[in-house]
Structure 1
Amino acid sequence: MSKLLVKPSGETGKVISVTPESAGWTYVGFDVHKLAAGQSVAAQTGKREICLVFVSGKGKVSAGGVDLGELGGRTSPFDGAPYAVYVPGNGDWQVEATTPLELAVCSAPAVSEGKAVRVITPDEMGQETRGKGTNVRHVTNILPETDPTADSLLVVEVITPGGHTSSYPPHKHDADNLPHESLLEETYYHRLNPAQGYGFQRVYTDDRSLDETMLIEDGVTTLVPKGYHPCAAIHGYDLYYLNVMAGPKRIWKFHNQKEHEWLLGA
């Protein structure tokens, strides 16, 4: 199995765990918790900032000593935009599931002090459609670079219809070379509809010193430490992914692979 592919460890509890140490990088952390109604999860943020994303289901949330009430509500990640909660460094959070709950915990280094807890509602999230033809995909910006809430985190959801490509034409963001390109680590948390479907993701560099092609099944996470990272959803199965990015600067500036850049004008 590819070292860039993280499969769920079970059906309940913390089913995905990616830390900077386990990934062999510096910035991005990512967990997924699957809870039954009445179960809860809590943590201190320490030197990291957190974005909680309600992938599906509902839960009662408190953060920074404040009761935020019951949040969430969509029945699946293919059912509209999510609720999310930003929790700054040196804080705490707790979520108690009120229905079966799938909760993603996105993290990156906290830099500044004085940030506030913030609930991000579906109505506040910008949505857009990118691409043409079989490269069309639908994007929900949960915590984009234009939102000053976070220090490091960039969080986005994408739905790619069956038979379409995504993160394509191939692009990369692995060089700290602004204004041309930013250095951002990235995770992809994949879900499929219907769940028995599959897709593919390739992660590779120009010199092919890294070149991995992975089978994407429901519930897996892929790591993108560097290189290009396109996805493909097979016919009949829509592909959802939740992206978490972070690096030394909170800017998403990517470089398209020259061989395939002509597709942008096709």
Structure 2
Amino acid sequence: MKARIEKNRPIVVTMGEEMEYTGLQIVKLEEKQSYTVNALDNTEQCVVLLYGYGDVAVGNNPLEHIGNRDTVFAEVAPYAIYLGLGDQLTFTATTSVELAICTSPSSKEMPSRIIKPETMSVEHRGYGQIQRTAKNILPETEPAESLLVVEVITKGGNWSSFPSHRHDEDDLPNQSYLEEIYYHKLNPQEGGFALQRVYNDDKSVDEVFVVEHDSAVLVKEGYHPVAVPPGYDLYYLNVMAGPTRTWKFYNDPYFEHLIK
């Protein structure tokens, strides 16, 4: 499996099955519902509060009320919780809530922590029809062993993850091997779509996926640009991990001249 799409059912990507280094589970809660994220052996977890409000208890830490947005398309960055080895999290919703549970391998004892929106950097990438906004939830400058987590908003009529790039070779300092999961949302939800192509240089991998609201694309190899048509905005959450926790990518030579 080089690339695949998940849609029309709750998203569960189990690490160690299709993906070696990355996993993702989406959990939706209604008001007063609770969900416990259990501690996992040899696994670190980053729980992103995509939208909604609630009370979170992490390990033996006191209960804390978190939340700051009603939709992933809000301008503000989200709250997130990093879960180290041996810790579990219980979240009790006070509104409708969506959680993204991102996982990757870990062997280090690292302390759990709440990652607050004000600590996350925001980047405005690209120009013209390749503009998008990235919010760095768990970048390589922040403590973790494997996980990298970022969310991106692309306005209608624009391209994203573009110019096309790949990170599928363990060849530092030129390129790092990182698996990647995209979790996509559209605004408005109904009727819209985006397109994500996954391809490599010799076209032995060349797939185009029709992305709908609440779908996920799994990328192990290849360039992976995204396009969203006018009239719909696109959100995606990226979960990346690999042997080395750094993001070094290689641009498709045919599009590299577009980089400014």
TM-score range, shorter chain: over 0.9
Name which of 230, 242, 259 aligns with 2:254.
Answer: 259
Name which of 137, 144, 154 aligns with 1:160.
Answer: 154
Q: Which deviates more, 205-214 or 171-180?
A: 205-214
8 Å CA contact retained: 1:40, 1:94:
yes
The structural deviation recorded for 1:8 is 4.2
Q: Distance in 1 between matches of 2:34 and 2:11?
A: 16
8 Å CA contact retained: 1:45, 1:88:
no
Structure 1 length-normalised TM: 0.93
Q: Distance in 2 between matches of 1:47 and 1:21?
A: 12
1:163-218 Cα shifts (integer Å, max 9, x gaps): 00000010000000000000000000001111122110011111212111001111
Q: Does 1:36 align with 2:30?
A: yes
8 Å CA contact retained: 2:15, 2:104:
no
1:67-97 Cα shifts (integer Å, max 9, x gaps): 3411123100011210001010122111111
8 Å CA contact retained: 1:135, 1:165:
yes
What amino acid is aligned across from residue 24 of structure 2 in structure 1? F
Name which of 40, 44, 48 aligns with 1:45.
Answer: 40
Q: Which residue of 1 aligns with 2:211?
A: 216
Q: Which deviates more, 48-57 or 58-67?
A: 58-67
Q: Distance in 2 between matches of 1:45 and 1:193?
A: 34
1:110-133 Cα shifts (integer Å, max 9, x gaps): 1212x1111111111000100010
Q: Distance in 2 between matches of 1:6 and 1:70?
A: 32
User: Post-superposition, which runs of at least 4 consecutive aligned residues in structure 1 deviate over 3 A?
Assistant: none
Q: Which residue of 1 aligns with 2:172?
A: 178
The structural deviation recorded for 1:264 is 1.2
Q: Which residue of 1 aligns with 2:88?
A: 92
Q: Distance in 1 between matches of 2:8 and 2:114?
A: 27
Q: Which residue of 2 aligns with 1:4?
A: 4
Q: Does 1:120 align with 2:101?
A: no
Q: Which residue of 2 aligns with 1:12?
A: none
Q: Distance in 1 between matches of 2:8 and 2:247?
A: 28
Q: Distance in 1 between matches of 2:148 and 2:63?
A: 22
Q: Secondary structure at the match of 1:71?
A: strand
Unaligned runs of 5+ in 1: 10-14
What amino acid is aligned across from residue 36 of structure 1 in structure 2? E
Unaligned runs of 5+ in 2: none
Q: Which residue of 1 aligns with 2:237?
A: 242
Q: Secondary structure at the match of 1:262?
A: helix
RMSD: 1.3
